Structure 1
Amino acid sequence: MTNYSPEQVVWTQSLREAFGESVELQDESGQTEVFDIAAEFEVDGVGYAILVQPDRKDEEYEVLRIVKAGDGSLELATIDDDEEWENISELYDELTFPEEDEY
């Protein structure tokens, strides 16, 4: 997996169009949690979602892959590849907190 630059990002709205401003996710134990969609974008044709819990906006965010199911519906998938997760997380940080130009 390569490192991506902000110029490669294509902002999307597919999750918001399908689900609104938030989504419900179920963890391994069956507990359901609500997450706000902070951002969604594509890089090299792969969709990613940045999700935050409404009561924890200042804490860590979730990075998930947006996958189109066989019936055309959208699903969210965990990113199992640590390098991919790290690259997308760093890219989102760059997009959200651009470095200040040094003078």
Structure 2
Amino acid sequence: MMTDFSVENIVWTQVLKEAFGESVELEDDKGHIEVYDIAAEFEVDGQGYAILVQPDRTDEEYEVLRIVKDADGGLELSTIDDDEEWENVSELYDELTFPEGDED
């Protein structure tokens, strides 16, 4: 079954904010820890996604990650390996954040 990544299918969530607060710490492959603010959380067809931004960044870069539950019911963030899925989620967030037709 193909996931329909459209605005109509979004369910806004707050599972990360309820678990961790307004920001999360992510560790990279080299053990460096970076702090990210949780910009948005939503589900599409039951799969959770998080949009994270670094607080000191002024550009429009953001991280798109999956929200998954581990075996103990805890929350984890994982990278999206499927390029098409990542692109769909990223475009959906852009559509929600920068709706077309809002220009004066």
* Preserved contact between residue 67 and residue 76 of structure 2 (Cα < 8 Å): yes
Map residues 7-86 of structure 1 onto 2, 5 A cutoff.
7-86=8-87
* Residue-by-residue CA offset, 1:48-81 (whole Å, 9 max, x unaligned): 0000000014331000000001101100000000
* Preserved contact between residue 3 and residue 87 of structure 1 (Cα < 8 Å): no
Which runs of 5 or more residues in structure 2 are unaligned? none
Distance in 2 (alpha carbons) for counterparts of 1:68 and 1:2: 19
Q: CA deviation at 1:11?
A: 0.1
Distance in 2 (alpha carbons) for counterparts of 1:66 and 1:101: 30
Q: Percent identity?
A: 79
SS of 2:95 mapped into structure 1: helix
* Residue-by-residue CA offset, 1:1-56 (whole Å, 9 max, x unaligned): 55511010000000000000000000011000000000000000000000000001
- RMSD of aligned Cα (Å): 1.5
**One-letter amino acid matched to 2:13:** T
Q: Which residue of 2 aligns with 1:89?
A: 90
Q: TM-score, normalised by structure 2?
A: 0.93
Q: TM-score, normalised by structure 1?
A: 0.94
Which runs of 5 or more residues in structure 1 are unaligned? none
